[in-house]
Amino acid sequence: MAGKASVTRAGGSVSDVRVAVIGAGFGGVAAASYLTRNGFVNFRVFERASGAGGVWHQNTYPGAEVDTFSDWYSYKFKAHDWPKPHSPQPVLEAYINEAIDDLGMRGKFEFNSDVVRVAWNDARRTYAVELADGRSGEFNVVVSAVGLFNTPNYPKWSEGISFRGPAFHASRWEHEHDLRGKRVAVVGAGSTGAQIVTAIAPEVGHLFVFQRDPTWVLQKNDEWYSTEERRSRRNRYVYQWGRLRHAYAEQRRFFSGELFLAGSKKNLAESEAAQAYIERALGDAPDLKEAVTPAHPFFAKRNIKADGYYETLRRHNVTFVRSEVVDTSQDAVIDASGNSYEVDVIIMATGYQAADYLHGIDVIGRSGLSLHEYWESVGGPEAFLGMTVPRFPNFYMLYGPNTNIGQIVFDLETQSRYLVRDLKRMRRSGARALEVRETANRLYNSWLQSRLSRTIWVGTKNYHKSTTGKLVVPFPRASIQYWAMTRLFRTIAHKAV
Ligand SMILES: Cc1cc2nc3c(=O)[nH]c(=O)nc-3n(C[C@H](O)[C@H](O)[C@H](O)COP(=O)(O)OP(=O)(O)OC[C@H]3O[C@@H](n4cnc5c(N)ncnc54)[C@H](O)[C@@H]3O)c2cc1C
């Protein structure tokens, strides 16, 4: 990167195409690895945080771990000796860093580099990438891998908070506070809230858990692998078999799309499993059982996968409050019924602004078109296969609109492969820019929205919707179908401009 006055020149020949990748989570590192392994070595990765890992760098809260099987929630090109089926945050962060080092890519990563503007230059056919600290550079291709769960959703009451003790968002954990013996409020009972509650309950003095709406919980049945199991899993056939087994199970689960339809046999069968878990854990505690049983269909909100969460709610030092927090005083939190609970620490497990794609980045395409304004004009974020947008040549998104498909790392690799195929096409044809056709984009998104309009996500309050109510996060089928679409449609949908 150069200072603002002296902008770096992009390579004139497509063979040394310069690529800017934004974000160094699973997505950015997937893109970097596909670029490296396919010979496109002229790239930089800009990451706002001080290190790589994305959500696995940021979320250091107690109990943070993945819900998806690690064999499957990992790169195809990099097997790993996981310590348990669902690995904890430090292991995932280390894994991503190892992937960077294995491929010798570390020198291409620029940390503490917050991208704020990406602007296409029609005449030069390049993007100017601008950083918050004033640095900028010129690139032929830009890949956004900024993820979905980075911008914390702070509750209204936290603005100008009068509470005198520590109060922080779960993804910005303040490790300097010792919680032992303290009265702690955990606000929010989603996946993160459930993990924190289960992890800290044994050590805090008293824990208040505030739940606005319940969510379906599935048992993880997670245990550390024995030394013997780890030894046998180091065999690559055993490992790949495990990976394949999980992949197959997940594809079967999502393939027909039936799981996403309210009242369908598949949906009811899964909610029955979740209901049975409530019965097992809380059958003899009718008030608690009723409080944690959701009214919404299974899968309409992100399910919780946890061991011991319901059991933790029954502990003598835990008070479960079936209400949202609406305010604080100097030493207490206040719920929607006006009840006040004196606490020493407040932890906000209140989620993220997931539907706010490319938050904080101004993306400018052909003829000065702003991506955020374009999205406003079509009722909310959308893209062809969640990756490319008409009039934004050579701009790719990983984990973009409607690509929260379920097998995220596999999907990120699918998208990285798609990007590399386009770069190879540019190299072969001599084209300096590719862009998705308006018609392809329109047809794809009308198919998508018509499928989504019949799903469980429509009638439920969840993070899948933009402010206009458009479903902009989920995909109504399985990863394997999404993968097939990326193989079938890319060549006809993208044109040289
Ligand atoms: C606590 C938690 C648990 C999760 N568990 C699961 C799970 O069990 N299974 C699952 O499938 N998914 C899970 N997810 C979803 C998770 O987001 C994805 O699985 C995956 O990590 C996405 O990777 P990513 O690289 O696309 O995004 P991220 O990991 O979010 O990485 C994006 C990176 O981009 C950087 N960035 C953003 N904006 C800018 C900018 N303007 N300039 C520079 N850098 C920028 C961010 O700092 C971040 O490092 C979880 C998410 C969270 C928060």
Which stretches within 63-133 are classed as H helix?
89-102
Hey, whose CA ends up nearest to atom 6 of ligand 1?
66
Ligand 1 mean position to 447 CA, how many Å?
A: 27
Q: Strands 318-321 and 434-436: what pairing?
A: unpaired
Answer for the pair 346, 166: CB distance below 8 angstroms, yes or no.
Answer: yes
Q: What angle (nearest 5°) sits at the alpha carbon of residue 254, between those of residues 248 and 260?
A: 165
Please name the residue whose Cα sits nearest to atom 48 of ligand 1: 54
In this structure, what token pair is assigned to residue 279? Answer: 């019965």
- Is the C-beta atom of 109 inside 6 A of ligand 1? no
Asked if residues 411 and 479 have their Cβ atoms less than 8 Å apart, the reply is yes
Q: How far is the CA of 460 from the centre of ligand 1 (A)?
A: 24
Amino acid, res. 34: Y
CA distance 208 to 422: 52
For residues 327 and 160, what is the distance between their CA atoms, to the nearest angstrom?
A: 10
Per-residue pLDDT at 456: 94
Instruction: Spell out the per-residue pLDDT of the chain, length 497, in tens.
Output: 655 433 344 444 555 899 999 999 999 999 999 999 999 999 999 999 999 999 999 999 999 999 999 999 999 999 999 999 999 999 999 999 999 999 999 999 999 999 999 999 999 999 999 999 999 999 999 999 999 998 999 999 999 899 999 999 999 999 999 999 999 999 999 999 999 999 999 999 999 999 999 999 999 999 999 999 999 999 989 888 888 998 999 999 999 999 999 999 999 999 999 999 999 999 999 999 999 999 999 999 999 999 999 999 999 999 999 999 999 999 999 999 999 999 999 999 999 988 899 999 999 999 999 999 999 999 999 999 999 999 999 999 999 999 999 899 999 999 999 999 999 999 999 999 999 999 999 999 999 999 999 999 998 888 899 999 999 999 999 999 999 999 999 889 999 99
Q: What is the bridge-based pairing of β-strands 183-187 and 345-348?
A: parallel
Indicate the SS3 state at residue 291: helix
- Write b or e for each residue in 308-327: b if 16 or more Cβ atoms lie within 10 A of its Cβ, otherwise e: bbbebbeeeebebbbebbeb
| Ligand 1 pocket check for 361: Cβ under 6 Å | yes
pLDDT score of 15:
55
Task: Decide: 23 in ligand 1 pocket, CB within 6 A.
Answer: yes
Distance CA 56, CA 339 (A): 36
Distance (Å, rounded) from C-alpha 309 to C-alpha 43?
44
Contacts of 398 (CB under 8 A, 6+ apart): 23, 27, 28, 30, 31, 143, 144, 145, 387, 412, 415, 416, 419
Both tokens of 174, joined, read 């303040």
Q: For a ligand 1 pocket test, name from 408, 409, 475, 479 the mutation site with the most ligand atoms within 8 angstroms of its C-beta.
A: 408
> Contact, 261 vs 454, CB < 8 A?
yes
Taking the model in full, what pTM does it have?
Answer: 0.95
> Which residues, other chains included, contact 13 with Cβ-Cβ below 8 Å and sequence gap of 6+?
none
Dihedral sign (CA 18, 21, 24, 25): negative
Which two three-digit tokens encode residue 20? 């800017």
pLDDT at 1: 61
> Atom 3 in ligand 1: which residue has the minimum CA distance?
66
- For CA atoms 247, 252, 253, 254, the dihedral sign is positive
The residue whose C-alpha atom lies closest to atom 2 belonging to ligand 1 is 55
Q: Which residue among 74, 149, 348, 410 has the greatest number of ligand 1 atoms within 8 angstroms of its CB, and so is best to mutate?
A: 149
Name the residue type at position 211: Q
CB 426 within 8 A of CB 495: no
Where do the domains of the chain lie, and which CATH numbers do they carry?
14-151+354-496 (3.50.50.60), 156-223+235-348 (3.50.50.60)
Residue partners of 81: CB distance under 8 A and separation at least 6:
230, 233, 234
Alpha carbon separation from 403 to 56, 147, 315, 493 (Å, rounded): 19, 11, 39, 18
CB atoms closer than 10 angstroms to residue 237: 7
- Cβ of 115 less than 6 Å from ligand 1: yes
Element (H, E) at 28: helix 26-37
- 59 CA: nearest ligand 1 atom: 1
Q: What is the pLDDT of residue 254?
A: 94
pLDDT at 2: 54
Nearest residue (by CA) to ligand 1, atom 37, is 146
